[in-house]
Amino acid sequence: MKINVKSLFMSGVITGIVILIVGGGLVPMIGNQMDEVLKNRMLPPLSGGDMAFFAFCSLAMGIGLMGLYVLIKKTGTSKRRAIILSALLFWFFNYFLANAALVAYGFMPWGLTIIGTAWGLLELFIGVIIGSMIYKEVKPK
């Protein structure tokens, strides 16, 4: 059960870039709603540094998502099933629970949270599909 670490890392970075690009597509949809949420909590709007942090998080999530995909795939699961399971598991623990907590704390409104959480599932599916096409298994000797 060898894992091609170099391919995992490269496909993970590309998956992270895909997550970043697809996530950026949400910005025009929500407009300035996030700035309004921050303003209502007496916080400044998102800065360039904040955006750089989110870019780093997207790259790290891409690597993590591909790591989960590879581990699931190594159990003998089909590629399609590994894509579905890894995206759903990653989404549940990294998007759904975190966003539900923000709603429970009263920080985020329901509507914005539902849009962002659903969009997160979309970006993970697109990312892991592309990443799975790039990842190459270790060739047996």
- Is 54 within a domain? yes
- Is 141 within a domain? no
Q: Could you list the residue range(s) of the whole structural domain that residue 31 is in?
A: 5-134
- Is 140 within a domain? no
pLDDT digits (tens, 9 = 90+) for 20-58: 999 888 877 776 777 788 888 888 888 889 889 999 999
pLDDT digits (tens, 9 = 90+) for 78-125: 999 999 999 999 999 999 999 999 999 988 889 889 998 999 999 999
> In the prediction, which pLDDT does 19 show?
96
- Is 139 within a domain? no
pLDDT digits (tens, 9 = 90+) for 49-81: 988 999 999 999 999 999 999 999 999 999 999
**Cβ atoms 37, 109 nearer than 8 A:** yes
CA distances from 117 to 36, 61, 102, 111 (A): 18, 15, 11, 10
- Is 129 within a domain? yes
- Is 37 within a domain? yes
Q: What is the total count of domains within the chain?
A: 1
